[in-house]
Amino acid sequence: KAGVTQTPRYLIKTRGQQVTLSCSPISGHRSVSWYQQTPGQGLQFLFEYFSETQRNKGNFPGRFSGRQFSNSRSEMNVSTLELGDSALYLCASSLAPQGHSYEQYFGPGTRLTVT
Amino acid sequence: KNEVEQSPQNLTAQEGEFITINCSYSVGISALHWLQQHPGGGIVSLFMLSSGKKKHGRLIATINIQEKHSSLHITASHPRDSAVYICAVISGSGGGADGLTFGKGTHLIIQP
């Protein structure tokens, strides 16, 4: 069974631009969660989608948004990029929503650099 | 909001040593995850626990719900175990509304 895939793997953007990252979950998984990892803050929860609905969202500004499609693939978008948005963005998929004690499977991440 | 503390932050040991990494959290949880992250960023889920103890190969994870504490043990450590180990929890209330809350990670180096 194929694992979680994320595209692109690396991305360089300029301040003020917007970016869209993609995540394809493991086949059959309907929950997709997104995380941001920076050297200073570590791993932080961005949001979770299940069956095309956002279930919950972490403490991030409205510039961070996402969506999930009917095939469970998910995208996250960051508008008006800031230097501090430079990070590794990870997605993880699971059979059921968080809180239901199902294991999460992580993708390789997208490394975003904002210049 | 759950606070997750890991110790130690950094650990260097010799091959073959028994390793223990600790994780404490402040609020009741529905599940605790132990994750492994190698250089380059990829994260692998090692264990998911809600009670008791789990073992997989040389890795053992335990959790004490009453004390809000979990430990990850590595027996007969090997240089390939060198990685960052991260503890993450799902708070018990709210059906996972806060998502995973992560510890800062333990950077483990096993020297030959």
Asked if A58 and B88 touch (Cβ cutoff 8 Å), the reply is no
Q: How confident is the model at residue B30 (pLDDT cuts 50, 70, 90)?
A: confident
* Residues of chain A contacting B103 with CB distance shorter than 8 Å: 42
Percent above pLDDT 70 for chain A? 97
A79–chain B nearest CA distance, Å: 23
**Residue in B43, B84, B104 to test binding to A, most A beta-carbons within 10 Å:** B43
**Residues shown for chain A:** 115
Tell me: pLDDT of B22 over 80: yes
Q: What is the DSSP letter of B17?
A: -
State how far the Cα of A114 lies from the Cα of A16, in Å rounded to an integer.
Answer: 9
Chain B CB contacts of A47 under 8 Å are 99
Q: Looking at the predicted structure, is the pLDDT value of residue B96 above 60?
A: no
Instruction: Choose the weakest-confidence range: A27-31, B31-35, B37-41, B52-56.
Output: B37-41
* Number of Cβ within a 10 Å radius of residue B5: 13
- Residues of chain A found within 8 Å of residue B95, distances taken between Cβ atoms: 97, 99
Residue B107 has pLDDT above 70, yes or no: yes
Q: Is A60 on the interface with B (CB under 8 A)?
A: no
Average pLDDT taken over every residue of chain B:
91
Are residues B41 and A88, on separate chains, in Cβ contact within 8 Å?
A: yes
Q: What is the largest CA-CA distance in chain A?
A: 39
Q: Can you tell me the mean pLDDT for A6-10?
A: 97
C-beta separation of A5 from A14 below 8 A: no
In terms of CA atoms, which chain A residue is nearest residue B44?
A106
Surface-to-core class of residue A111, CB atoms within 10 Å of its CB (0-12 exposed, 13-18 middle, 19+ buried): middle
Record: contact A101-B100, CB cut-off 8 A:
no
Residues 6+ apart with CB under 8 A from B90: A98, A99, A101, B29, B30, B31, B32, B33, B96, B98, B99, B100, B101
Report the pLDDT value the prediction gives residue B100, as an integer from 0 to 100: 85
Please state whether beta strands B19-25 and B10-14 pair in parallel, antiparallel, or not at all (unpaired): unpaired
- Restricting to A residues 30-49, those with a Cβ less than 8 Å away from any Cβ of B are 33, 35, 37, 42-48
Using the beta-carbon criterion (under 8 Å), do A99 and B86 form an inter-chain contact?
Answer: no
Confidence of residue A13 (pLDDT cuts 50, 70, 90): very high
Q: Which of A16, A10, A9 is nearest to A78 (CA)?
A: A16
What's the whole-number mean pLDDT along residues B7-22? 98
Question: Is the peptide bond between A25 and the residue preceding it cis, with omega within 30 degrees of 0?
Answer: no
pLDDT digits (tens, 9 = 90+) for A28-64: 999 999 999 999 899 999 999 999 999 888 989 999 9
Residue A101 has pLDDT above 80, yes or no: no
Give me the helices (H) in chain B, please.
none
Beta-strand relationship, B52-56 and A53-57:
unpaired
Query: Cα–Cα distance between A37 and A49 in angstroms, integer?
Result: 19
Phi, then psi, of B91 in degrees rounded to 5: -65, 150
Cβ(B28)–Cβ(B79) below 8 Å? no
State how far residue A19 is from chain B, nearest Cα, in angstroms.
20
Statement: residue A2 has pLDDT above 90: no
